[in-house]
Structure 1
């Protein structure tokens, strides 16, 4: 058995894979594959309608927000956010907590002035800055809620007096949030929502159209909102699989249920990291992510030996990012507690073998 701890594209539930695979052969008993049906067909229109309805239900999205399914990944949103929200010559505020937060700020700086209100780069992004001031003349404040490489997470929306924008690519749908706390949420699907290829954007309608910029229609959120995410040919299959995964999440009991499971999974793994003398976590205790658990060992030789043991035990994708080294266990929604226990058992086995 394989246990997939990959950072993304990530694990999805087995039943989602099975239904998605069937649809590749025959979608809705139509005799056509989901890969070849018209995106203007009534069958696919219903897929988009249901997917949006599930997002709205699971996250309790207020009526005055648009829910969009776009292409280009979260990296395209690094540019689309300032295109739509940052006036010519205006200023945006950014919190720098990792690679993706830094890249988002760099893209925005091409379109206006960017003020980094705080950064944890001084300690290789192992903590979340707690004290910072967001300028009141900023067009918006942007932060990344979960840092996949460094294993840190921000669980509460910062209290600011400007529009709040968040990149939730790696923790969307993993925990309860109050959407009304935010003006714009974006998230690549490939962690907890579905496969790579579609990006979720949830945006408060009344913040749009105020930047004064002339924006190409394809990069204007209003174009996609008016067209119901059908302004251009959408990523049909990615939206469909996301719908299946959202159905699965709803059937489990929704966000509150999956959050409880995620807390248990993360606690189980962190407890072993803290107990086992061969391993140590890299992130500050109070800032540890529930989605991406980063940890290291004392020597490169030990790490190589543990990677070999992990491979023998079917533990896939735990090699850490080159920026941190060691190991990274991504424990997204669909990963089961049994997979966490398999990793913990391997860590205990290593301890017994070499203590």
Structure 2
């Protein structure tokens, strides 16, 4: 195998596949990227056996066709440090010979592992196909991924539940994530072809890779899926991922129906006040107490070591016209949710111990549920 490619082109391609590579693993070949140089150009593949990314690289001059594996992290680091504008030549003579890399007056040899050891992730049948606008995918991911659980024992919560649903006669594509303390549910119009899709749980790592790739395009993103696998095509990149084999809980039961005490507060003022009062404690789980009266909000936080802090909001920033209420939430959870709101944030309470609904007043298609803390 021998080819020459512009440094910037190779760097971008390696950066795309690098996110899948596991540096710490018990299978050495998984730290490598597979390079396949053929008559159609260069193809790079990386996998951790749960996700595989394949990138078709354009603008490559192939002098000798062949395949080779190389340590992905090392190769990316070398290419990143080369001067911009240089041509990079990669040459592998076969067998155990090192992979020769030359660029300008720089040269190195990288150890390779047998191509035969590189795992192949078969796709199987993917009967459901639809396309999603890049902006829509970014929106779905950004407004839900913060609520994905990191608790490995509840593996079925370690991703976003993506499924078709119906709201007031309208078909929607719904993304849901929860960690048991907060829940995020976001809806977008159902893409054509997605009506028959199964409900699937897309793993956190796959979600993160999709989000990074979606940042770089304004094109439609093609989805193909079954009940066990997902394949996404974005331009020259194809990502194939296993789905989480589990049952997502009945999240509708968690969403309260009768919360009739409504607080409307300016997002910017509220978020800044929470941040200031929470600074009194270094404990991330320290609650912030919300004390509500008519058109008045008092936020307080206390720390046995540091003391107490409070801030009042009223006037134009707060609207509340229900019975007085005291309720506490973890400061970090309040921040995560208010980060999803652009202007006016609405809280809907039942009482001081029941789940609370939070929404952006201008975006009813996004709904959040927050469990209170005892204060």
Report if TM-score (shorter chain) is over 0.5: no
Q: TM-score, normalized by length of structure 1?
A: 0.24
Q: TM-score, normalized by length of structure 2?
A: 0.23
Q: Which has the higher contact order (CA 8 A, sep 6+)?
A: 1
Q: Is the helix fraction higher in 1 or 2?
A: 1
Rg (Cα) greater in structure: 2
